Amino acid sequence: MKVTAPPLGFNTWNTFGEDISDELIRSTADRIIELGLLDAGYNYIVIDDCWSEKQRDQNGRLVPNREKFPNGIKAVADYVHSKGLKFGIYSCVGNRTCADYPGSFEHEFIDAETFAEWGVDYLKYDYCFKPMTEKGDLLYKRMALALANCGRDILFSACNWGAENSKEWIKETGAHMWRSGNDIRDNWKSISDIFALQTEMIPYCSPACYNDMDMLVIGMNGEGFCALGGCSEIEYQTHFAMWCMFASPLMIGCDIRKIDDSALRILKNRGLIDICCDPLGCQPYMIDGVGCSDSHAQVWVRNLENGDIAIAMFNLGDGPSKGFLPLVSVGLNASTERTLELHDLYTGEVISGIRGEYLSEPIPAHGCKVFRAKVKKI
């Protein structure tokens, strides 16, 4: 299976944890369509941990929980597919999953065949209860091989949280995306801590094996399984811009059935989604503090397929700051006789051309400024 852009969709874990059901998945699928999220690119619905019975059947196969999914998983997948969406499920490299349900260790091929029979399009593969005698890279390679031979295209999402220095070997396993850090929580500290890890991850990010910064907490507003304080609208905007700038998969984690208008506007921001999924697949680079007013302001740049430039200024501090971008830092020396026309991706404002040698923008605490810039003749 070839994956040409970071996947977008919804995952049950952040809000619901083990409280999942047939009805939840069906009503979420309905709501994704009603809100236009499929049109924005969110086409996966993924059931996380806790969907199965506690034991396999007499043939060694996984069994859907009879109370949560009385009609089985295939019926749920069929309903999701009927809406034009794709369906995902969860398993684990170990004997048990993180929530103590059956894992796929030494059942990789039978599980892959089962998932294919059910109509699964996406597998999130966790890292709990891994036998100490087994190498993590081999376990991911084994499941990747099983999926590649199951008779169905299934996107393979490796979730080992960066353990065992996985950034150096994950791309060779056949995974299409990989988790680079710990689980996210719905607060600014968790978001900024995950973002702080990304600089060392940049050399290991590439198209077809995307660095998964974890699921989105936008719209949780302090409610749900992984809620821990909540965030402001400004912080959610910055969260989304960070994930898009680094081409992370975008998996919604709030309860879509009762999402507020503010969160929906952020998640449907077409300009940022286009940057996230830009087909050129360039890695972002940071402007190394040149001209920054303090250490809390970071400026990141990413070259895009049509010759445009994405510019993101992030204020990680607790007070207002400024972001500076010298034009020479993106290759526009005075000798080029070129400048940048800026389109603010949150306000819609257009700055027709930078006058002078640098861009300077005020940024509120925990806030951001994000532009798509076109190169123009002076």
Q: CA-CA distance, 100 to 247, in Å (whole number)? A: 32
Known active-site residue 183 = yes
Residue-wise DSSP of 103-164: --TT-HHHHHHHHHHHT--EEEEE-TT--TTS-HHHHHHHHHHHHHTSSS--EEEE--TTGG
Known active-site residue 186 = no
313 forms beta bridges with 299, 369
User: Collapsing DSSP states into helix, strand and coil, what is residue 55?
Assistant: coil
Intra-chain end-to-end CA distance of the chain, in Å:
45
Given a contact cutoff of 8 angstroms between Cβ atoms, the answer to whether 83 and 29 are in contact is yes
In Å, how far are 43, 189, 190, 246, 335 from 195, measured between CA atoms?
25, 10, 9, 9, 35
- Torsion angle (degrees, nearest 10) of CA 22, 23, 24, 25: 50
Q: Which of 78, 153, 183, 344 is catalytic?
A: 183
Q: Which of 126, 137, 186, 214 is catalytic?
A: 126
Spatial CB neighbours of 14, under 8 Å, sequence gap ≥ 6: 184, 186, 215, 216, 217, 220, 224, 225, 226, 253, 254
In Å, how far are 25, 102, 327 from 90, measured between CA atoms?
14, 11, 46
Spatial CB neighbours of 132, under 8 Å, sequence gap ≥ 6: none
Residues designated as active site: 126, 183
